Structure 1
Amino acid sequence: MTVAASESSGPRPEVRAVAGVVRGSRDAGVAVFRGIPFAEPPVGALRFAAPQPVRGWSGVREAVSYGPPPPQAGHFGMDALSQEAPGDDWLSVNVWSPDPTPGAGLPVMVWIQGGAYVFGMSGLPEYDGGRLARDGDVVVVTFNYRVGIEGFGQIEGAPPNRGLLDQVAALEWVRDNIRAFGGDPERVTVFGQSAGGGSIAALLAMDRAAGLFRRAIAQSVQGTFFSPDLASDIAAACAAELGLRPTVTDLSGVPPHQLPAAGDALSARMDQWVERWGQPAYRTIPFSPVVDGDILPVTPWQALSDGAGRDIELLVGHTRDEQRLFTAITGLLGEVSEEQAAAALRFLAPSPDGAGRYRHAFPTADPDRLYELVHSDWLFRMPSLHLAQAQAAAGGRTHVYELTWTAPGMGGAFGACHGLDVPLVFGNLDRGRPAMLIGEAPSPEAEALSARMRAAWTSFAAHGDPGWPAYDTEQRLVQVFDTRPAVSAYPEEASRLIWRDHTFPVLPLVDRQRPTARNAAASAGAPIAYDRPRVC
C-alpha cells in the first residue's frame, strides 16, 4: 500500500539497519518506519521459494509508506485494495518506536495479522501501532507475509508453509535490527489474532522459530492444520481451476495478482468436496499450515504437550461469540434452520456423539444458538483453550482471557464477535473495518475497556504478567473482559467438558476413493489444458 504517514514537526528519524539506513517520520511523538524490506521479493526466480535475505542498499531509504501487500483473496475487497499498490516488495516490516535510539531497551511486540490464511496486510488502518507503542512504551512491529496459494498452497517443487517461513524471516529481522530502533531483542513478544493466532501456535511448534521470541499472545487461535495429502489435494483442485498442475513450473507462469482468483473460485464450490476434504470444505477453508514433519513437525497442541513451549510465557484467549460475525456475513443471523444446526453439529462436534452432548448441555438452545456454539468452539474457542491447557499441563506458564463485552455497533447484534479484540488491543476504535463493531463514535466504555486491554498486553510484553493469575488445570482462572472486568473460572465450562478429550489432530484427506480434482474435471468433460492458463 502507498499510505504515507502523517508527519509532525521536527527532524525525521533515521536509523541504520543491517541492510542500510532508513528515514521514517514522526506521528504524535512516535517514530514510524514503514515498508522496510526484510526479504527479497518472492517473484521471478524466487516465486514460491523460501524467503531470501534482503540485499543492502546505499544512501538513505525512505520509509514513510507501507510496502505493497502480497496477492489477496477477494474477501472484503482485499484483492482490489492490494492491487492499488503496485510493486513486488511484499515482504516488508513497519516499526513504531517511542525512542528509536540504540540501547533504549524497550519491549518489542510483533503483530501477525489474521485473514484465514488467504488475505491480510499490515498496512490496514486498524493495525496502526502508534497508540499501542506510545501508551505502552513498547516498540511495535507489523509485517506482511504470503497468504493463499502463494504462502500456503502445497505446490510440487516448493517448500510447504512459505507463509510461516516468511514469519520466521520477519522475526529474524527483528532479532538482527530491532536494537537500532530502541527495542530489546531479548524481550520480543509475538501477538496475533485468528490465522495470526494460529500462526503463533505453529511458531511455538517450529524449531526454526526457537529463540526468536520470549512471549506469545495468541488471540482466537484458528485451529485448522492440514495433512500433506489434504493440502496437496486442495492445491490440485485449485490449480485445476486454471487448467494447470500444482507445480512451480505451471503456476509460476500465472501473474501473482491473478492467482488468488483460482482460490476464490474453488472456495465458492468447496461444498462439493465435503465428502473428500471433510471439515475444511464444510467451513470453506482452502488453506492452512501443513504439518509436514519438517518445517512444522507436529500440531501445536502436541508440541506444547511435549514441552516445546515450556520456556515461552503464553497469553491466550478468545471472544465469547466468535461465530456471530460470520453468521451475519452469510445472512444466517436469526435464520438458522434445524437442518443447518444439525449439519453443523454432525460435521464439527467431537466424537463420540458430540451432537448429543451439545443438545444435552444446552437443552434450551434453539438452532441459531447450537449452530453458533459448535462453530465457535471448533474453529476458535476450544483450539485456544486447549493450547493453554497443553502449555499448563507441560509445566509452562500461561494466562487465559475471554472477551465478553458486546460490541455496540448494529445495535449489539454482533455480540462479542470474532475480531472485536483487534481494535480494543490496538486502540484504533474509529478506523478501519472493525469500526463498524464499535460504532461511529467510541463510547467512554469502549475507550476504558481498550485501555485495560492495551495495558494488559503491554504489561505482559514487558514483564510476563498481564495482571491476573496464571491458568492451571484445576481452578482454571481466566480474565473476563467486559464493562466490569473480573477474574473467574473459565466461563464456557459446558463447551470445555464436551471437548475435554479432543486432541485437535491433523485434518486428513477423508475419502481417498472419491475422484481427484483433475479426474473429476476430466470425467465431467472439462478440458485440462496445461499449456493454456485461464483465470476464473
Structure 2
Amino acid sequence: MIVETRTDAGMVRGRWEDGVAVFRGVPFAAPPVGPNRFTAPRPAVPWDGVRDATRFGPPPPQPGRATDGQEWLNLVVWTPDPGRSGLPVVVWISGGTYLNCDSANPHLCGAALASAGAVVVSAHYRTGAEGFARLDGAPDNRGLLDQVAALGWVRENVTAFGGDPANVTVLGQSAGAGSIAALLVMPAAAGLFRRAILQSLPGTYFTPALASDIAAEVGAELGRPPRAEDLTGVAPDDLVAAARSVTARLPERAGRWGSVAYTPTPFSPVVDGEILPASPWAALGEGAARDVELLVGHTRDEYSLLAARLGDTLDDAGADALLDGLTPTPGARRYRAAYPSASPNELRDTAMSDWLWRMPALHLAEAAHAGGARVWFYELGWGFNAAGASHGLDTLLVFGTAEIDTGLTEAGPDAVAQARGLSELMRAEHHSFAATGDPGWPRYTPHERRTRVYDTDCTITRYPEQRSRVIWRGRRFGALDLIG
C-alpha cells in the first residue's frame, strides 16, 4: 500500500510495511559529483511530479562494493503515522570507521524504533576520502557537513512525516558517535537537535598536520597531490582503493602517525579550528551544548571483535610497546599494576577497549556534566558468545536486529529469549530518552557515577570499569598529531 507526502523539493511516494510507512532514497542535498565533488553539500534539486521513494538510494563510495549511482546524499524515513503530529524524531548517524555508511544495512533498520512511536531518519554522508580527507581547496569535515545538511532537512521536512522538528535526537554508534560528539561543538549544527545518544564514542580526532600527511599518502597512491582540483576527476572507486591501500599499511606508520597505526581507519574528524573549532571534550567542558541532553554508553568488551580478527599472540614486550605508544597513554606499567594476572593479549584487549571507546565515552560524559549538560550513562555487559558484550551489540539490541546473521540464533533459545527481552528494554529506555529526555534512571555525576548496566540481570550501579577509570584519571583526550 502506497503513501505519499510532500517535502520542500517535491512529492515522494513510499509504502506501508508491517504497520510503518517507509520512504527510501529521498535526497536531502544535491549529488556531490563533478564541481560539487569536494564542496560543502548543496541544496537538493527540486523535481516535478511524485518521486518514487520505495527503493534505497545509493550509498557513498566505500570499501567492498562498487559505487552505484551519484546521488549519495539521500536518506530513509520510517514513521508510524505520517498523518500524526508531534512525534519524537530520532536521526541515526551510522558508524563504520568513517569508511562505511549504508542505510540499506538490515542491522540498522529503523522499523522497530518507529513502531515504538518515533519518526526515524537514517541519512547517508560522505565517508572515507570523499568526506574526511584533508584536501587543499576543499572544506574539512565534509562528511560532518553532510550530516548538518541532513539535520537541516529534518528541521524543514519532518513535520510532513508526523515528527516534531523541536524534538530531535541524534543517535550514533562508533564513528557515528564520534560524528555526534563533533556536531555537539560545531557552530553549524547549533540548534538542530535537542538530545544526543552516543554509543561507543571513539577517541580519535586529528590535527590538520596529521590529516594533511595522511591525505598526501592517499594522493600519492594515485600519483596526484592532495588537492581537490587534482582529485575531482578520479573515479570514486579508485579513490576508495587508494585509501584502502593506506589503511592496510597503518601498522607501518606508528613512527609518524602514532596511535592511528593501531586503529582500523586513516580518517577521523579534523579539529581545524573553523568547522570543528575544538576537540569535543575540551569544548563540552567549557559549556558547549550545555542545553543538549546526552545519553552516553559503551559495551564491556569493546575490542573483542578486532582482537579476534588479529589472531596473533603478543609477548610482554609487544604489549608494553603497544600500551606505551597510545596517545594519550597511562602506560603499560599502570595496566600491569591494575590487572596483575592478565596475559599480554588480555592487557592489550583491555587497554584498547579503554583507549578507543570506553574512556572517551566516560570522559565525554564527565566533560559534558562539568559544562552544565544533563547526562545519563550505560554499559552493556551481556553477550551470547565468546566475543562477549562486543562492539556494536548495543546498537543491534536497540534496533531489534541482533538475530540477523550474528550467530545468536545458533546460540540457543535461552540466548534468543534473553536478547529479545534486553532488546525490548533498551529500545523502550532509549525511546523514552528521545521522547522526554529521561531514560528512567538517575543522571550520571562524577561523584556517584550512576550507570545503567544492561546484562542478564539489569541493574543501576556505580560505573563498573573502576580499575580502568582510575588508570585514566588525569589523562585527557584531544586531537592526535604527527609524531616528530
Matching residue of 1:172: 152
Contact 2:393 2:402 in 1 (8 A): no
CA, structure 1 residues 446+413, in 2 after alignment: closer, same or farther (shift >3 Å)?
same
Matching residue of 2:318: 340
The 4+ residue runs of structure 1 with deviation greater than 6 A are none
Counterpart Cα distance in 2 of 1:44 and 1:431? 38
Matched, 1:193 2:173: yes
1:270 to 244, 250, 253: 250
Counterpart Cα distance in 2 of 1:233 and 1:350? 20
Alignment of 1:133-532 (within 5 A): 133-134=114-115, 136-332=116-312, 335-348=313-326, 350-351=328-329, 354-406=331-383, 408=384, 412-431=385-404, 435-436=406-407, 439=410, 443-511=416-484
CA, structure 1 residues 122+14, in 2 after alignment: closer, same or farther (shift >3 Å)?
same
Matching residue of 2:59: 69
Contact 1:348 1:374 in 2 (8 A): no
Contact 2:25 2:55 in 1 (8 A): yes
SS at the partner of 2:167?
strand
1:39, CA displacement in angstroms?
Answer: 0.3
Counterpart Cα distance in 2 of 1:339 and 1:260? 35
1:253, CA displacement in angstroms?
Answer: 1.6
Counterpart Cα distance in 1 of 2:71 and 2:237? 13
Matching residue of 1:89: 71
SS at the partner of 1:384?
helix
Counterpart Cα distance in 2 of 1:438 and 1:343? 40
Matched, 1:33 2:33: no
CA deviations over 1:296-345 (Å, ceiling 9, x no partner): 0000001110101210000001000000000112223xx33333322221
1:349, CA displacement in angstroms?
Answer: 6.8
Question: More deviation in 353-362 or 489-498?
Answer: 353-362
Counterpart Cα distance in 1 of 2:104 and 2:338? 43
Counterpart Cα distance in 2 of 1:331 and 1:216? 35
Contact 1:179 1:185 in 2 (8 A): yes
CA, structure 1 residues 350+509, in 2 after alignment: closer, same or farther (shift >3 Å)?
closer
Matched, 1:59 2:39: no
CA deviations over 1:25-67 (Å, ceiling 9, x no partner): 1111100000000000000110111100001111000001111
Which amino acid in 1 is paired with 2:315?
S
1:126, CA displacement in angstroms?
Answer: 0.8
CA deviations over 1:209-228 (Å, ceiling 9, x no partner): 01100000000001100000
Counterpart Cα distance in 2 of 1:49 and 1:328? 39
1:14, CA displacement in angstroms?
Answer: 0.4
SS at the partner of 1:425?
helix
Which amino acid in 2 is paired with 1:256?
P
Contact 1:420 1:437 in 2 (8 A): no
1:421, CA displacement in angstroms?
Answer: 1.1
CA deviations over 1:213-248 (Å, ceiling 9, x no partner): 000000000110000010000000111011111011
Which amino acid in 1 is paired with 2:145?
L
Counterpart Cα distance in 2 of 1:275 and 1:437? 41
1:152, CA displacement in angstroms?
Answer: 0.1
Question: More deviation in 498-507 or 140-149?
Answer: 498-507
Counterpart Cα distance in 2 of 1:254 and 1:306? 42
1:250, CA displacement in angstroms?
Answer: 1.4
Which amino acid in 2 is paired with 1:365?
A
TM-score of the superposition, structure 1-length normalised? 0.88
Which amino acid in 2 is paired with 1:358?
Y
SS at the partner of 1:484?
coil
CA deviations over 1:147-187 (Å, ceiling 9, x no partner): 00000000111000000000000000000000000000000
Matching residue of 1:44: 34
Counterpart Cα distance in 1 of 2:350 and 2:293? 29
CA, structure 1 residues 321+438, in 2 after alignment: closer, same or farther (shift >3 Å)?
farther
Counterpart Cα distance in 1 of 2:443 and 2:82? 33
* 5+ residue gaps, structure 2: none
CA, structure 1 residues 166+41, in 2 after alignment: closer, same or farther (shift >3 Å)?
same
Which amino acid in 2 is paired with 1:46?
N
Counterpart Cα distance in 2 of 1:426 and 1:329? 25
TM-score of the superposition, structure 2-length normalised? 0.97
Count of matched residue positions in the alignment of Structure 1 and Structure 2: 482
Counterpart Cα distance in 1 of 2:270 and 2:233? 24
SS at the partner of 1:64?
coil
Contact 1:344 1:374 in 2 (8 A): no
Counterpart Cα distance in 2 of 1:171 and 1:437? 34
SS at the partner of 2:89?
strand
Counterpart Cα distance in 1 of 2:328 and 2:248? 26
SS at the partner of 2:134?
coil
2:86 to 81, 85, 105: 105
Which amino acid in 2 is paired with 1:88?
Q
Counterpart Cα distance in 1 of 2:344 and 2:154? 47
1:132 to 86, 98, 113: 113
Counterpart Cα distance in 1 of 2:289 and 2:119? 24
1:428, CA displacement in angstroms?
Answer: 1.3
SS at the partner of 1:218?
strand
Counterpart Cα distance in 1 of 2:95 and 2:262? 20
SS at the partner of 2:298?
strand
1:272, CA displacement in angstroms?
Answer: 2.4
Contact 1:349 1:355 in 2 (8 A): no
* 5+ residue gaps, structure 1: 1-10, 74-78, 512-536
1:494, CA displacement in angstroms?
Answer: 0.8
SS at the partner of 2:233?
coil
Identity of aligned residues (%): 54
1:350, CA displacement in angstroms?
Answer: 4.2
Which amino acid in 2 is paired with 1:422?
T
SS at the partner of 2:165?
strand
Which amino acid in 1 is paired with 2:416?
S
Counterpart Cα distance in 1 of 2:138 and 2:482? 21
